[in-house]
Structure 1
Amino acid sequence: MLGGLWEWWRRRRLLVDASFAAPLLLLAVFYQGELDQGIYGFPGVGFLGYWALHAGLLLPLVWRRRWPRATFAIIALACFGQWLLHVPLMAGDVAVLYGLYTVTAYCSFRWSLAAVLVTLLGAVLEAAQLANLPREFRWAVMFLSAVCVGVWLLGLHMRTRRAYLRSLEERAERLERERGNELQVARAAERARIARELHDVVAHNVSVIVVQADGAAFTLDTDPDRARKALETISETGRTALAEMRRLVGVLRENAHESGDGYAPQPGVEQLAELVDQMHRSGLPVTLTVDGTPIEVSEGRQLTIFRVVQEALTNTLKHGGPRAAARVTVRYAPDAIEVRVSDDGRGAAAPDDGRGHGLVGMRERVAVYGGRVRAAPRPGGGFEVIARIPVREEART
C-alpha cells in the first residue's frame, strides 16, 4: 500500500514541486507577522509589495521541473526587482537556490553554468547592499558564494546520477532485446541443425530402399521369397522416410551448402551406453537405467533421445560442480518414451551467464515430435530434465 501511495505521489509532479515551496510560504507568513509588528522594516514596499515579491519568487516553483529555465529566469527577475527596491533578504529568496538546482540537474551544463554565474552576480550585489564595511562585504560574498556553488555542485551530482541510472536502464532494455534476438537465432540454428540431421536420416533410409530394391530385382525370378522380404523392407523403410519428411516440411534449413556433412546415420538409443562411458572418462559419474521393453522407433526419435541426454549431461558437467553425479533413466511406455536425467549438483545455485541455449534446443527437438520437456532444479538440490516423446504418428489429413 505504501508503495502504491509513493508511486501516486511521484506521478503528481506539480503537487510535488508545490510541496517544496510550502515551507518557504510558511516562513513568508511568519515574517509578514513580524513586519506587521514593526520588527522588520521593508522600505519601499508594503503589504501588497511584500506578497507580490513572494508570488514572483514562490509561484514559479510549481512548474520548476516542467520549465526549469523559465522558472529560474522569473525568480531571478523577482530577486533583481527586490534588490532595486532595496528590500533585504526574505524567506522567499531561497527559491533562487531551488531554481539554480533545477536548471543544473535537468538542463545542459551550459545552462547550469549560466545560472550559477547569474546567482553569483546576485550574491555579490546583495552583499554590497547588506555590508557596511569591506570586511563584512568579503564575508558576505564568501558565504553567499559558497552556498550557491554548493547547490550548483549538488545539481551537477544529481544530473550525473540520473544520466548514469538512465544509461543502466537503457542498457538493461538493450540487453533484453539482444537476449530475445539471441534466443530467436538459437531456435533458428537449432532448427537448421535438426533439418540437416533429419535429412541425413531420410537419406540413409532412401539408400536402404535403393539397395533393397536392387536386391529384389536381382532375386525376383530366382528367389521369390527373398524378393518378397526385400519388398516388405522397402515398404517399412519408405513409411519411416515419409514420416521423417513430414517433420522436415516447414523447418528452416540454413547453411544448406555447407560441405563435409556425410549421409551417415546419426547416434541413437543404442549409443547411450557409449555416451555414458564418455562422460565417465570426462569426470562425471553417470548411471544408465532402462525401464520397460525397448520398442522400435524411428531414427529421428532415437536421435532426439540421444541429443536430450547428451545436452543434459553436458549441463551437469558444466554447472553441477566437481562432485556432482548424474542418473539417466529411459522408460518405455506403450505410447511414449520418457527420458529423465537428474543430478545432485548445485541446482538453482549454479551460475548462469545467460548465453546458453541448450534447453531451448531440447524443447525444439522434442516439439518436432509433439513431445514436451520440463527442466528445473530439484527440491533439496540438483537439477532434473524430463522429456516425453510420443512414439506414434499423429493422424494427419
Structure 2
Amino acid sequence: MSGPSLPSIRRFLTDPANRLWLDGLLAGALVAAMVYDITANRSQETQWAWAGARHELLLVACAAPASLTLRRVAPEIPSVILGLTGLLTYPVTQAHWVLTPALAVALYSLGVWRPWPQSLSVAASGLVALPVLSRLVAGKPIARLVTDVGDLDGDKEWMLRTWPSWPVWLSALMLAAWAVGLLVRMGRENRLAAVRESELVKQNQEREQVQVLLEGRSQIARDLHDVVAHHVNLIVIQAETGPDLVQREQGDVLQGFQRIGDAGRKALGELDRMLSALRDAHGVPDPALTPQPGLKDLRALTDGLSEQGLPVSLELRGEPDGIPDGVQLTAYRLVQEALTNVVKHARASAVRVLVEVSAAGLAVWITDDGQGFDPTSPADGRHGLTGMRERVRVHDGTLTISSDPDTGTTISALLPYSEEQANA
C-alpha cells in the first residue's frame, strides 16, 4: 500500500480548513521547546540562562509562542506579543533559542498574509520600538518586572544596571524575515495572476472560435439558401407550365413532373444539409440572393492570384457537370479559404490546386511551398480552417491538413455525393 503523494501532502497543508490547527501544532511545539529551554537552564548562573527571572516572566515566556496559532488569521497579534516578550526577557538571557525563531515566523507570516503597506508599518514600527524602549528603561525600576532584585549578587546587580539593550542588528534580522514573507506573497500573487491570465486567454480563444464557427455557419447558410432557392424556383417554373403541358402529349407531361420531382429532391437534400449546419447557430438569415460560384469559377480565382504575383497552377480532372451545386460551392470555398491563408500567412512562392471527380466523390488538394505551421497550435489568425471543417462536415466529407514549419502545407478534402444527387 503506497503512502500519500507529494501533491496530496501539499494540498493537505495548503487547505484553508487545516490552517488553524496546523498552526496550533506549530505553536504547541514551540511552547514545549520554550518550557524545555527554561527548565534545562534555570539553575545556571550565567547571563545566558534564565537564573534570577521572576516566575511571572517565565510564564509569559512559555505562553508567548502559543500566539502563533493566529499567525495566518491575525499575524499582528503574535508579532506584537513575541516582540514585547523578547524585550522583557532580553536582560535576563540573550540566548533566545525559541523566542527569536518564533518572532521571525510571526513577522514572516505578517509579510505573507497582509498587504505590504500594512505589514511594513507594523513590522517597522515594532522593530524600531524594541531597541528604543530597551534603552529608555535601562537601569529603571522596571527591572523588578523581569528579575528578583532582592537576591542579586554584585555581578547581577551590575548586569541589571547596564541592562543589555535590544540590538539593532537583531531588529534588522527580523526585518529580513518579514521581507522573505513579502517575497513569498508577491510570488503567490504573480502565480495567481498568471493563472487568471491563462484562463482569460483560454476563454477568449474559445469565444473567438465560437464566433468564427457562427460566422462560418452563417456564410454556409447564405450559400445553401441560394442553392435551395434556385431549385425551388425551378419547381415553381415547372409547376407554372403545368397547364400548358396537360394539353400536350403524355410523354411531355411525365417529363415535366419528373423535372419537378428531381428539383424537389435536390432542394430537400440541400435544405437538410443547411439545417444540419445551423442546428447550433443563432444567426439572422441574409435575404440577399446572389449567384454562387462553382468549379467553373476556379480558373478566374486562381488567375486573379497569379496576376497579383503568386503563381497558382490549377488542374481539373473529370467532368464536373453532374456534381451537385452545393458540393461545387463547398469545393470553391475550400480553395478560396486555402488560397487566402497562403497569401496572408504562408509566404509561399507557388501553389498547386488539384480538383478531381471520381466515383468516391469530389476530391480537392491545395499544396503550397510556404513556411508552414503547426496544425496542433492555436489558430493564430487561420480562422478559415474552422470554416473549412464546418463546410466539409455538412457534406459528411473528410478534411486533412498536413503542415510542418518550413516545409509547406497541404490541405485535402473529399466531398462525397450520392448518384441520386448527381442525376438530379
TM range (shorter): 0.7 to 0.9
Q: Secondary structure at the match of 2:365?
A: strand
Alpha-carbon distance in 2 for matches of 1:140, 1:213 = 107
RMSD, aligned α-carbons:
4.4
Q: Cα gap change, 1:198/1:327 in structure 2, threshold over 3 Å: closer, same or farther?
A: same
Name which of structure 1's ranges 218-227 and 329-338 shifts more when overlaid on structure 2: 218-227
Within the alignment, does 1:81 sit opposite 2:85 as a pair? yes
Q: Cα gap change, 1:231/1:34 in structure 2, threshold over 3 Å: closer, same or farther?
A: same
* CA deviations over 1:270-318 (Å, ceiling 9, x no partner): 1112211122233322222334554612111111111111111111111
Deviation at 1:46, TM superposition (A): 9.7
TM-score under structure 1 normalisation?
0.76
Within the alignment, does 1:343 sit opposite 2:348 as a pair? no
Within the alignment, does 1:245 sit opposite 2:271 as a pair? yes
Matched AA of 2:185 = R
Within the alignment, does 1:122 sit opposite 2:130 as a pair? yes
Gaps of 5+ in 2: 140-157
* Structure 2 residue aligned with 1:255: 284
Matched AA of 1:360 = T
| Percentage of identical aligned residues | 28
Equivalence map 1:210-359=2 (5 Å)? 210-214=236-240, 217-218=243-244, 221=247, 229-249=255-275, 251=278, 252=281, 254-256=283-285, 258=286, 261-262=288-289, 264-294=290-320, 296-321=322-347, 323-348=348-373, 354-359=380-385
TM-score under structure 2 normalisation?
0.72
Q: Cα gap change, 1:388/1:61 in structure 2, threshold over 3 Å: closer, same or farther?
A: farther
Deviation at 1:183, TM superposition (A): 1.8
Q: Cα gap change, 1:100/1:238 in structure 2, threshold over 3 Å: closer, same or farther?
A: same
Within the alignment, does 1:209 sit opposite 2:215 as a pair? no
Alpha-carbon distance in 2 for matches of 1:20, 1:311 = 68
* Structure 2 residue aligned with 1:102: 109
Deviation at 1:390, TM superposition (A): 1.4
Compare CA radii of gyration and give the structure with the larger one: 2
Name which of structure 1's ranges 108-117 and 212-221 shifts more when overlaid on structure 2: 212-221
Alpha-carbon distance in 1 for matches of 2:333, 2:115 = 57
Contact 1:378 1:384 in 2 (8 A): no
Name which of structure 1's ranges 336-345 and 216-225 shifts more when overlaid on structure 2: 216-225
Q: Cα gap change, 1:340/1:140 in structure 2, threshold over 3 Å: closer, same or farther?
A: same
Q: Cα gap change, 1:313/1:20 in structure 2, threshold over 3 Å: closer, same or farther?
A: farther
Alpha-carbon distance in 1 for matches of 2:36, 2:355 = 84
* Structure 2 residue aligned with 1:91: 97
Q: Cα gap change, 1:377/1:35 in structure 2, threshold over 3 Å: closer, same or farther?
A: farther
Alpha-carbon distance in 1 for matches of 2:403, 2:259 = 45
Q: Cα gap change, 1:280/1:6 in structure 2, threshold over 3 Å: closer, same or farther?
A: farther
Alpha-carbon distance in 2 for matches of 1:122, 1:148 = 11
Alpha-carbon distance in 1 for matches of 2:70, 2:6 = 20
* CA deviations over 1:105-138 (Å, ceiling 9, x no partner): 2223464123442343234335667899xxx99x
Alpha-carbon distance in 1 for matches of 2:50, 2:409 = 79
Q: Secondary structure at the match of 2:49?
A: coil
Contact 2:374 2:404 in 1 (8 A): no
Aligned residue pairs total 382
Alpha-carbon distance in 2 for matches of 1:342, 1:60 = 72
* Structure 2 residue aligned with 1:371: 397
Equivalence map 1:154-233=2 (5 Å)? 154-214=180-240, 217-218=243-244, 221=247, 229-233=255-259
Gaps of 5+ in 1: none
